[in-house]
Amino acid sequence: MKRTIIPFGPQHPVLPEPLVLDLILEDERVVDAVPTIGYIHRGLEMMVERVEYTEMGFVAERICGICSFMHGMGYCVSLEAIMNVEVPERARWLRIIWAEISRVQSHLLWLGLGADAFGFENLFMHCWRMREEILDIFEKTTGGRIIHSVNRIGGVKRDVSDAELAAIVVKLEELGKAFEKTANVFGKDPSIRHRLSGVGVLSADDARAVDAVGPMARASGVVMDTRLSGTYGYDQVDFEPVTETAGDCLARVVVRMREVQQSIGLVRQAVEKMPKGEGMPLENKPRGNPVGETYTRLEQPRGEVLYYVKANGTKNLERFRARTPTFANIPAMIKLVRGCDLADVPNIILTIDPCISCTER
Amino acid sequence: MANPLRLPMVPRALRNLVSRPATRRYPYEIRPRFEGARGTIEFDVETCNYCMLCMRRCPAAAITVVREDRIWSIEHLTCIGCNVCVEVCNKNSLSMAKESKPVHTHAEVGPQGQRPGHEEWHGPDPAIAAAAKAAAAAT
């Protein structure tokens, strides 16, 4: 049969960021896809050569606008490991709280985009309205809605009072209840089911074979969550990773919906377990320049992120590398796109939650 | 064909028809920024001792300090609002205002070639300042 090549992107209504897929079609069926990335490469990793290591955290934060807190935290955690800096306990808990709130924010953003992709504009607006309340929490506690700039090597820069933390928990629980109704729509609406159920099925074996990470892997039944390793204070909170077994687009939506509730629960646990009081130490300042290298793994909203930092004793690091979750999920996306209908391609691409800014840095 | 009354979004959509909008009528109704929000850097020329620490620590190189001429200047378009200069300032000359200044564009270059977002303070000459201080002490 004659083959047709359809370029998908860089500009496409469902794509929030530029990604190109050359879809090779036979009739309406995709037989292969060739991804091209590199439209928004900014060379942020190269900036370590001229930006001092104390200032690089702000650059790391700007890798991506949705998981900016986690990128800043990952950079600081790596440097703390190299320089043997102990983070004060309250600062560690505050990092967990902010990280989990940013996970809620990211998933709400994605659920909205997902709803928009399958043409449910009303639902999209509702998800983003809820996200706005989360951004308000960020503005109150960190000073910025998107770029928080609270992480420093050795701790965090701002404290949040206990009363304010309690208010945040109350607000998040209210949001969780409101979100349940929205989640009900995602789970029960027949048109959504018809559009997503059974589309783009990734089996557990395939997920392992293509090294899928994050909600993508968990929707296929692979229990994989970097938070389970218990680093950075996650050993002191109780949680079960959210998994689904279907592995289709709907399962990936459901995993993210349940993770919103899980993160709200984690924030509540963290607020209960963190040491209370005013004026507790939040930062241990590092001394001297870093020497050595380290790997850091964190669980971002999109999956596992990996940072490699190599320092040589000068003010500038030798190498800073971030392997972001979307980059790891692109092979899985290509696998899913092969064999599906052209009309399902937007949904499949969107359910991996692509963050191209992260991927290209 | 599904029964439209059984669709889970329908009650919500009907309620939306009669409920108040979730958004503000933006240009007429503006929410003030929260306490502690990071907006624009403010500078107090009276207390600064031109130690140049803010200039050295600024990750975006937005601040320029000339100690000899007692000039402190900032490029608001380059500033990333990270709050580092406020943290390192020993004299508490710098503070973070919660409101942001209006957005500038590069088309707004002034008649004397002033760059948009550039703000500059000139401190008093040290000799004159010392003389004024001595005069104040004498009276």
Does the beta carbon of A29 lie under 8 angstroms from any beta carbon of chain B?
no
Residues of chain B with Cβ-Cβ distance to A158 below 8 Å are: 36
CA distance A220 to A238: 23
Does the beta carbon of B96 lie under 8 angstroms from any beta carbon of chain A?
yes
- Pick from A59, A122, A136: which is nearest to B9 by CB? A122
How many residues are present in chain B? 139
Interface test with A, best of B9, B55, B95 (most A CBs within 10 A): B9
Q: Which two tokens stand for residue A123?
A: 């639902």
Q: Using the beta-carbon criterion (under 8 Å), do B7 and A189 form an inter-chain contact?
A: yes
Q: Using the beta-carbon criterion (under 8 Å), do B83 and A157 form an inter-chain contact?
A: yes
Q: Using the beta-carbon criterion (under 8 Å), do B7 and A126 form an inter-chain contact?
A: no
Peptide bond between residue A346 and the one before it cis (omega within 30 degrees of 0):
no
Chain B residue with the nearest C-alpha to that of A124 = B9
If DSSP codes are grouped into helix, strand and coil, which group holds residue B43? strand
Residues of chain B with Cβ-Cβ distance to A133 below 8 Å are: none
Q: What is the DSSP letter of B137?
A: H
Residues of chain B with Cβ-Cβ distance to A181 below 8 Å are: 12
Closest CA–CA distance from residue B117 to any residue of chain A (Å): 20
Interface test with A, best of B6, B23, B38 (most A CBs within 10 A): B38
The burial class, CB within 10 Å (0-12 / 13-18 / 19+), for A71 is buried
Does the beta carbon of A51 lie under 8 angstroms from any beta carbon of chain B?
yes
Does the beta carbon of A120 lie under 8 angstroms from any beta carbon of chain B?
yes
- Please give, one letter per residue, the 3-state secondary structure of A274-320: CCCCCCCCCECCCCCCCEEEEEEEEEECCEEEEEEEEEECCCCEEEE
Torsion-angle region of residue A106: left (phi > 0), alpha (psi -120 to 50) or beta? alpha
Supply the CATH number for residue A320's domain: 1.10.645.10
Residue numbers of chain A with a pLDDT score lower than 70: none
pLDDT band per the 50, 70, 90 thresholds, residue B5:
low
pLDDT at A109: 92
Task: Report whether pLDDT(B1) > 60.
Answer: no
The number of folded domains in chain A is 1
* Biggest distance spanned by C-alpha atoms of chain B: 94
* Containing structural domain, residue A105: 3-360
Does the beta carbon of B7 lie under 8 angstroms from any beta carbon of chain A?
yes
Q: Using the beta-carbon criterion (under 8 Å), do A185 and B12 form an inter-chain contact?
A: yes
pLDDT at A226: 85
Q: Using the beta-carbon criterion (under 8 Å), do B9 and A58 form an inter-chain contact?
A: no
pLDDT at B106: 63
CA separation, residue A199 to residues A202, A230, A338, B42 (Å): 9, 34, 12, 55
- Please give, one letter per residue, the 3-state secondary structure of chain A: CCEEEEEECCCCCCCCCCCEEEEEEECCEEEEEEEECCCCCCCCHHHHHCCCCCCHHHHHHCCCCCCHHHHHHHHHHHHHHHHCCCCCHHHHHHHHHHHHHHHHHHHHHHHHHHHHHCCCHHHHHHHHHHHHHHHHHHHHHHCCCCCCCCEECCEECCCCCHHHHHHHHHHHHHHHHHHHHHHHHHHHCHHHHHHHCCCCCCCHHHHHHCCCCHHHHHHCCCCCCHHHHCHHHHHHCCCCCCCCCCCCHHHHHHHHHHHHHHHHHHHHHHHHHCCCCCCCCCECCCCCCCEEEEEEEEEECCEEEEEEEEEECCCCEEEEEEECHHHHHHHHHHHHHCCCEHHHHHHHHHHCCCCHHHHHC
The residues facing A36 across adjacent strands are: A20
Q: Which two tokens stand for residue A191?
A: 């048109």
Closest CA–CA distance from residue A139 to any residue of chain B (Å): 6
Q: Which two tokens stand for residue A263?
A: 């993160």
pLDDT at A279: 78
Closest CA–CA distance from residue B124 to any residue of chain A (Å): 32
Interface test with B, best of A50, A55, A68, A118 (most B CBs within 10 A): A55
Q: Using the beta-carbon criterion (under 8 Å), do B81 and A149 form an inter-chain contact?
A: yes
Closest CA–CA distance from residue A149 to any residue of chain B (Å): 6
Contact A190, B10 (CB under 8 A): no
Residues of chain B with Cβ-Cβ distance to A122 below 8 Å are: 9, 12-13, 16
pLDDT at B112: 72
What is the edge-to-edge ordering of all strands in the sheet holding A303-312? A291-300, A303-312, A317-323
Does the beta carbon of B126 lie under 8 angstroms from any beta carbon of chain A?
no
Q: Which two tokens stand for residue A122?
A: 């009303």
Q: State pLDDT tens for residues B24-74.
A: 888 898 888 888 888 888 888 888 888 888 998 888 888 988 888 888 888
Q: What is the DSSP letter of B71?
A: E
CB–CB contacts below 8 A, A to B: 59
Contact B34, A136 (CB under 8 A): yes
Does the beta carbon of A190 lie under 8 angstroms from any beta carbon of chain B?
yes
CA distance A30 to A343: 10
Q: Which two tokens stand for residue A258?
A: 């349940």
pLDDT at B4: 66
Q: Using the beta-carbon criterion (under 8 Å), do A139 and B37 form an inter-chain contact?
A: yes
CATH of B32-138, one of 2.60.40.290, 3.10.20.310, 3.30.360.10, 3.30.70.20: 3.30.70.20
- Residue A245 has, within 13 A of its CA and on its CB side, a CA count of 0
- Residue A188 has, within 13 A of its CA and on its CB side, a CA count of 12
